């Protein structure tokens, strides 16, 4: 599949303003030369030519020994010492001597779903040659690095959609893992108790499988078994979820892709849509409160942006007025999703409701982030703790050639999700080869 270029929900203040936070985006301006890819990296090491090692990009809220973890923040970049050890999620990569090409850009403290970063710069989505488009966040640098072939695999974090949203808006594959599967020790937190995860991103399914094999020992064997168990799509049942507000062209692209792949597609009842929307509100409330819980000590600190401080203040409101109630509803939502996933193998829907927006002027306020939270169809999955996969699919009659299909599975179904993604990818490539898609 080819990418181009290279490099509110209207609810209360708590549900909207509170969440100007969780997803996000590139190199110390004074300390490093400008890098290709619109600042995809905060620090970067040029690989040797003819190096056959996997090139791994690591989101810069994940500790790499000997490197300052900036978390996308000017304050951290200026005042933090280099990490004394790697984050736990890098253990397998280190055992295999994987080449880490650099620390990927992100929104400050990973709290902006647009991917905007006023200090390090916002890396543009590679899906357009004509306009600078938002990359989605907060793992924006990871997505842009992969899309522009500066890395084979990238690690990102996903609290409310921070892997899947930039994957969708940059035309790559992104996997949100089951909560608790991948250790998060050594990762700058937002809401680790209920939401935070680490996962891989790749330019295609094969590279994303490689990335997952660097995060979970024995994963390649699990994936091979999943492929052997379901070599074709005919026996895979897909529950189709249509959500209000989604661009009709994107919904059409999702439906055409599911049909082309050959899945057994079943429409989900409208009552589930209402349950999903409540889970979205609750997940956003918990994520917002997480910004307050984790970052309140920086509310009055110098070198922290006004955009981030607005998110922290909004998180305080969410924590005081809605956090406990949302947490109390988590088990019921997990049970509801479990019931649906007994009837179907996966749930399918658009990852994001619109194509990427143009990068706006920096007004240092959270309105853009509130709008972004309404556009992403991701946080309800984090609220449940389930894994989910974002796969690029063709989008016709649009400024950009690609959108994204999201597949949600039961806990610990990462291998099965990637196999389903493999089938989608093959169907899309087949259609493209016949000239039926961009």
Which tokens sit at 263?
A: 């899945």
User: Which positions are annotated as active-site residues?
Assistant: 59, 138, 162
Residues 291 and 284: their CA atoms lie apart, in Å, by 11
CB count within 10 Å of CB 206 equals 15
**Which strand (E) or helix (H) includes residue 155?**
strand 153-158
Residues 288 and 291: their CA atoms lie apart, in Å, by 5
Residues 94 and 70: their CA atoms lie apart, in Å, by 21
Q: Is the dihedral of CA 30, 34, 38, 42 positive or negative?
A: negative
Which tokens sit at 142?
A: 């990871």
The shares of helix, strand and coil residues in the chain, as percent rounded to the nearest 5, are 40, 15, 45
Cis peptide before 220 (omega within 30 of 0): no
Which tokens sit at 311?
A: 């998110």
End-to-end CA distance of the chain: 9
Which tokens sit at 41?
A: 């990296």
């Amino acid at each position: 599949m080819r990418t181009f270029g290279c490099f509110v929900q209207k609810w209360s203040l708590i549900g909207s303003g509170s969440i100007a936070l969780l997803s996000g985006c590139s190199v110390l301006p004074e300390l490093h030369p400008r890098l290709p890819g619109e600042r995809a990296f905060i620090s970067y090491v040029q690989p040797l030519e003819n190096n056959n090692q996997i090139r791994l990009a690591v989101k810069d809220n994940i500790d790499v020994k000997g490197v300052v973890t900036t978390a996308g923040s000017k304050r951290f970049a200026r005042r933090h010492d280099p990490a004394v050890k790697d984050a736990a999620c890098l253990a397998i990569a280190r055992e295999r001597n994987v080449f880490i090409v650099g620390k990927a850009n992100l929104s400050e403290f990973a709290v902006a779903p647009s991917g905007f970063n006023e200090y390090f710069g916002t890396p543009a989505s590679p899906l357009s040659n004509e306009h600078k488009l938002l990359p989605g966040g907060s793992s924006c640098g990871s997505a842009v690095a992969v899309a522009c072939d500066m890395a084979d695999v990238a690690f990102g974090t996903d609290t409310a959609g921070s892997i899947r949203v930039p994957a969708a808006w940059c035309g790559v594959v992104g996997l949100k893992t089951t909560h608790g599967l991948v250790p998060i020790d050594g990762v700058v937190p937002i809401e680790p108790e209920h939401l935070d995860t680490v996962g891989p991103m790749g330019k295609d399914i094969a590279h994303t499988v490689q990335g997952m094999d660097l995060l979970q020992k024995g994963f390649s064997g699990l994936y091979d078994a999943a492929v052997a168990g379901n070599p074709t799509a005919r026996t895979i049942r897909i529950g189709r979820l249509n959500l209000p507000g989604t661009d009709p062209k994107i919904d059409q692209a999702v439906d055409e892709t599911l049909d082309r792949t050959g899945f057994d597609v079943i429409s989900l009842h409208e009552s589930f849509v209402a349950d999903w929307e409540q889970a979205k509100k609750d997940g956003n409330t918990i994520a917002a409160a997480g910004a307050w819980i984790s970052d309140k000590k920086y509310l009055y600190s110098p070198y922290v942006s006004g955009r981030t401080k607005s998110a922290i203040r909004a998180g305080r409101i969410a924590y005081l007025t809605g956090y406990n109630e949302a947490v109390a509803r988590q088990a019921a939502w997990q049970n509801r999703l479990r019931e649906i996933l007994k009837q179907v193998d996966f749930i399918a829907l658009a990852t994001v409701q619109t194509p990427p927006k143009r990068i706006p002027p920096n007004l240092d306020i959270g309105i853009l982030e509130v709008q972004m939270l309404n556009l992403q169809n991701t946080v309800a999955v984090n609220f449940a703790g389930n894994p989910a996969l974002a796969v690029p699919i063709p989008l016709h009659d649009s400024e950009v050639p690609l959108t994204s299909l999201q597949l949600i599975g039961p806990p610990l179904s990462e291998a099965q999700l990637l196999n389903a993604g493999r089938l989608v990818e093959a169907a899309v490539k087949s259609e493209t080869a016949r000239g039926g898609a961009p």
